Structure formats: C-alpha cells, structure tokens
C-alpha cells in the first residue's frame, strides 16, 4: 500500500552524502581547547581517575604540544600540580615567577608555534586548604583579598607569555579589576576568558585529583562562591556582570548539565561563548566505555556536538586531542 504523504522528512536522511550536506552543526579542531596538566616530576603520569589523560613534565611538554598542534589544535590551558611542600594558606606560589606554570609558559613560548596559551587564574592548585581564594577571619573565602592576588597574578601571566587569562574563582568583581590592572600595565591585548557561570558541581572530583587540590580526599565545599546548580537566574546575572566588566569571552562550567545556560548566553551576548566539558563529564563517558556499556568515541562526539549545538563557540575538553585526530582522518 502506498500513501500520499505530503511531507517525508526521511528523504533528507536517505544517504550519507545527503546527511553530510545538510548537517547543521559541525565540530572542528579549532573549536576545541585542550586542558593540560603539568607536574614537577620527570615522567609522564596518567591521572588514575581520568583514563587517557596525563600529567606532563616540563621536559616533555614542548614536543607533546607540537604533536597536538599538528593535529589541528590551536589552544591550550595549563593546570599545574605542585608539591604540597610549596603550598600555603595564601597560595603564594601563584605570584612566584619561577613557579611551575610560568616555567611551562616560557618553554612553550620558545616553540614559536602559533597557538593560544591560557592561564587558569585561581588559587586552588596553590593553597594548602584547596579553596580558590584566601580564607578570611570568618572562615569563608575573602573576596576582595582574593581578587587583589588574582589581579597581580594576571599581570605576571601576561608578562610570562600567556595570551588569555581565565579567572575561574567566581569572586565578585574580579573581571573588572583584572581588566583594569592589565590595561594599566599596557597588556591591552591580553584577553579575559571568564568562568562566568561556574556551578558548584559534583563533576569536578577527577580534576581535583589531577591537580592535587583535594584535602584528605574530602569534597571541598565551595558553595559560598560557586553557583547553586538549581539557579538559572543567578547564573544569568553572573554572565551579565562579567560582560559588563569587560570579559572578552564568557564561559559556562560544567557544559552538558547546563546546556540551557549555554543557549541563553549565546542568544544574549555578542562576545564568544565558551563551555568546559569538565573532568567528571569526561570520566563518566570513559568509565561506561571501559565497561562496554557505551561506545566511548561516539558518545564523546555526541556530547561535544550537543554543547556546540547549544551555542558554545569554544569548548574546553579532555577529548580534544582524540577528537582532533579523528576529525583529521
């Protein structure tokens, strides 16, 4: 029996050639930013909670970045794991020019490759208590003192060769202060990638393991500065404030649990929108793939496409190297 249907949408899904012609959302290596963990040792170390992700020693960093660059990646964000003996309550190593992350930036600058190097601006890799800022007398993170330290660190990052600084601390007013001090020091072209809507998420655990910021393996409470996962309007307010303070790029973190926020930001702002597919998002896909429950590569691609489809112009993801390699085939 043949029916006279007016509409047959399946006509446009008939062959792989048609599917390719009509694909609405495309993922490119240039859309991706690879987070890189670095450490003070001399060997490459796999992060046990993030299969396929490694901590890189400085003696291997330049050659590995060249490999990633050849695959099409053009942006890298550095995250240091420093020795506990170099940590203190004030996170003072963030202002030490000889600290690990600044040594790494100098090494990468010598490669003369064309890429964007991004500095994470937060104190949690450096503080003995694991919080993203300085603890005040009331036991909470002192907002203004933390902003002062981060502003100083932003100038040091710019001086040491970072192209973008990325304040990930969620302190009030920090984007405006960072922009002001960078301009005062003539770093007018150092961009600010603001973690504008960073939620107090349970998905950060593997990352904290990777940089060694967990304390006694307990989950650190950051709810007084990171966003409540229940709150949409509050997230929108933070995005509006960072835009008004001069952020060059606005970021939502985590990514897939907050596609609604990404979509709203894309519709609201004219600056680029970034999203961070965080460690827990990565590890859950890897774990299910390892158990044979899901196709890891297919799920990674689908997840990233959903993030881009929602409106992200840039995506930080630990899958970046593998996705870039597969896209280049």
- For 68, residues 6+ apart whose C-beta sits below 8 A from its C-beta are 34, 76, 320, 321, 324
- Annotated active-site residue 198? The verdict is yes
Mean pLDDT score across all residues of the chain: 95
Among 93-107, 189-203, 212-226, name the one with the lowest average pLDDT. Answer: 212-226
pLDDT greater than 70 at residue 216: no
- pLDDT, mean of residues 188-204: 97
pLDDT greater than 70 at residue 83: yes
**C-alpha span between 119 and 100 (Å, rounded):** 12
Q: Are 44 and 60 in contact (CB under 8 A)?
A: yes
Question: Is residue 156 packed enough to be buried (19+ CB in 10 Å), middle (13-18) or exposed (0-12)?
Answer: buried
Q: Are 166 and 119 in contact (CB under 8 A)?
A: yes
pLDDT in the model for residue 253: 98
In the chain, domain spans: 27-250
Q: How confident is the model at residue 326 (pLDDT cuts 50, 70, 90)?
A: confident
pLDDT greater than 90 at residue 219: no
pLDDT in the model for residue 109: 94
Q: How confident is the model at residue 104 (pLDDT cuts 50, 70, 90)?
A: very high
Q: Which of 81, 87, 222, 253 is catalytic?
A: 253
Q: How confident is the model at residue 1 (pLDDT cuts 50, 70, 90)?
A: confident
**C-alpha span between 117 and 102 (Å, rounded):** 11
Q: Which of 87, 198, 222, 308 is catalytic?
A: 198
- CATH no. of 27-250: 3.20.20.70
Q: How confident is the model at residue 201 (pLDDT cuts 50, 70, 90)?
A: very high
The angle subtended at Cα 253 by Cα 251 and Cα 256, nearest 5°, is: 110
Instruction: Report which DSSP code applies to 191.
Output: E
- pLDDT, mean of residues 127-134: 94
pLDDT digits 0-9 by tens, 241-294? 999 999 999 999 999 999 999 999 999 999 999 999 999 999 999 999 999 999
Q: How confident is the model at residue 212 (pLDDT cuts 50, 70, 90)?
A: confident
């Amino acid at each position: 029996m043949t029916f006279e249907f007016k509409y047959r949408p399946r006509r446009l899904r008939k062959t792989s050639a048609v599917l390719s012609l009509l694909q609405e959302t495309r993922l490119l290596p240039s859309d991706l930013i690879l987070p890189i963990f670095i450490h003070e040792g001399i060997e490459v170390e796999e992060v046990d909670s993030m299969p396929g992700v490694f901590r890189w020693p400085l003696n291997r960093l330049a050659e590995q970045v060249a490999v990633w660059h050849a695959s099409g990646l053009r942006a890298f964000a550095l995250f240091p794991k420093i020795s506990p003996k170099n940590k203190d309550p004030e996170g003072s190593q963030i202002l030490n020019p000889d600290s690990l992350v600044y040594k790494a930036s100098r090494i990468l600058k010598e490669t003369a490759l064309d890429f964007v190097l991004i500095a994470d601006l937060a104190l949690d890799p450096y503080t003995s208590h694991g919080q993203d800022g300085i603890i005040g007398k009331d036991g909470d993170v002192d907002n203004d003192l933390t902003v002062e330290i981060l502003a100083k660190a932003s100038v040091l990052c710019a001086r040491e060769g970072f192209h973008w600084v990325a304040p990930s601390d969620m302190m009030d007013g920090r984007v405006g202060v960072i922009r002001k001090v960078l301009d005062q020091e003539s770093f007018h072209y150092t961009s600010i990638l603001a973690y504008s809507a960073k939620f107090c998420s349970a998905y950060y655990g593997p990352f904290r393991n990777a940089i060694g910021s967990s304390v006694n393996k307990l989950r650190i409470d950051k709810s007084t500065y990171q966003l409540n996962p229940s709150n949409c309007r509050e997230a929108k307010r933070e995005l509006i404030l960072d835009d008004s303070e001069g952020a060059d790029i606005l970021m939502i973190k985590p990514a897939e649990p907050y596609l609604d926020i990404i979509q709203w930001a894309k519709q609201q702002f004219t600056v680029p929108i970034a999203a961070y597919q965080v460690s827990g998002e990565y590890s859950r896909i890897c774990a299910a793939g390892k158990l044979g429950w899901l196709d890891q590569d297919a799920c990674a691609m689908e997840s990233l496409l959903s993030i881009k489809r929602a409106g992200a112009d840039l995506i930080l993801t630990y899958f970046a190297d593998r996705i870039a390699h597969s896209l280049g085939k």
